[in-house]
Structure formats: structure tokens, C-alpha cells
Amino acid sequence: MFGKLLKHECKATGRVLCPVYAGFVVLVLAACGMLRLTAHFGTVATEGPVTTLHANTWMSVLSGLLCIAVVLGMMAVVIVTEIVLIVRFYRLLGDDGYFWFSLPVTPAQHMAAKLLVALLWSVVSVVLFIGGMLAFVLLADDISDGAVVAELWDALRTFSVQWPVFGFVVLFIIGVLVSITAGTLQVQLACALGMRWPQSRLGASIGMYVVISIVVQVLASAGTIAGGALMLPQITQLTATQAVYLPLISMACMSVWYLVLCVVYFAATHWLLTKHLNLV
């Protein structure tokens, strides 16, 4: 039954998100194509300077507008994804919940299905965001005859000599995935707490999210200060070679912190949905 629930959740969210993603890809391709045409025809002489100026001006304006649209599209892809995922869980605790919680599926399975689908689409949106930027980098490299990628490669080689790149990338990916998971579970907990106030459930959910964020930020700041005070004597004694690994240790600590938050958020939300479910 969990597999069917997961499949349905993917289809329900995909009906909204897939057209948005497809539109973004088309927009990026159109912007890159127009920029390439502008760069190509901008170097071609025509019979009269007036005609050349008119053509190049319109192509440049259109290219600029498409680039602005792509930047807005990058933000829209991430924002729309998060809104759709939040609404899906929020509706679970409303009138739709009378149907969903009547199925032979536990609250933990409902939460897991929402979480896995949210993690999937969040990763896809981030990949599209990065892919959009990468497309412009490759276009700039093509226009400059490979100069851009060459400079980036030289910078990466210098970076790889000074930093353990493989460990950094692995910890970065793990940290991103765990932070996305923690963020999703925080939204679920805020919605579960908000359902305790049926008359203003939306406002209560937003308020609970803000309160949780403040509490987490205070605890994280206190932990950072305390940890820094305890580790300061050891840090000052590190050699230059050993100091390279400090960012890796910091990222690992952040990943552990987000993992702890995931456990707390999931346990608290599961307890509310199991013992204090209040559908409105």
C-alpha cells in the first residue's frame, strides 16, 4: 500500500511540476539560442550601418529579456516546487485527511511518502537551477572559444591542490540532502502543530514555523559558540596542513545537527498525527 501511496503522490505533484520544469528548460534553450545568434550576427557586416544597428539592437534587447526571464524562472522553479509540496501536506491535515487517514496506511507512511516525494522534486529543482547556470557558462565558453572553461579548470586545479575536493563534494551533497530533509520535516511539524487551532490553521502553521526556526537558530548559535570556545585551544595549535580539514569537520558537524533535527521533527510530527490528530 505504501508503494501505491508513493506512486500516487509522485503523479499528483508531477502533474503540476513537470510542465513547470519543461517550460523552464525551453526558456533556457531559447535564451541560449538567442544569445548565440546575437553573438554570431553581431560580427557580420551588412550593407548599411543603420540596418546593422537596428538588427543588433532588437536581438540584444530580446536576448536580455530572455536572460531576465531565465533568472526569474530559476527562482520560480524552486519556489513553485516548495509551494506545491507544502500545500500537499497541508491539505492532508484538512478535509482531504478524512479520506487519506481512512486508508490502511500509518501516519508514519504518510509522512514518509510526502518526505520522499518532496526530496525527489527538491533535488530536481536544484539540479535544474544549477543546470540553468551551467548552460550559460557553456554558452559563454563557446562564444569565447573555450576561455571560460579553461579558467574554471585552472581554478579547480588550484583548489584541488589546497583542499580535499572529493571529501568536500561528498560532505556537501550529504549536507544538502539532510538539510532539505530537515526543512521538509520542519514544515510538516509546523502544519501538525497548526492544526491545533482549527479557526486559523494557516496562520497558526506559519507562526509555528517561525517559532521553530527561531528556537533552532538559537540552539545552533549557542552550540556553535560553545563548540568554538571548547575547540579554540586545539584550533590554534593546528598546522596549515591540518587546518585544511576544518571546513570538512564543520560541514560534518552541520550534517549531524540536521540529522538530529530530522529525528526530532519526525518523532514530534508522528506523535501529533497519531495521538492528537485534529482534522478540520
Q: What angle do CA 75, 58, 45 make, to 5 degrees?
A: 130
Enter the pTM of the model. Answer: 0.78
Task: Give residue 74's pLDDT.
Answer: 87
DSSP letters along 185-208, please? HHHHHHHHHHTT-GGGHHHHHHHH
189 vs 58: which has the higher pLDDT: 189
Tell me which residue of 165, 22, 184 sits closest to 114, measured CA to CA: 184
Q: Who has greater pLDDT, 127 or 1?
A: 127
Name, of 40-49, 134-143, 206-215, 247-256, the range with top average pLDDT. Answer: 206-215
Burial environment of residue 78 by CB neighbours within 10 A (0 to 12, 13 to 18, 19 or more): middle
Which residue has better confidence, 279 or 16? 16
**Domains of the chain: which residue ranges?**
2-275
Report the chain's mean pLDDT, rounded to a whole number: 79
| Residues contacting residue 179 through CB under 8 Å, at least 6 positions apart | 254, 258
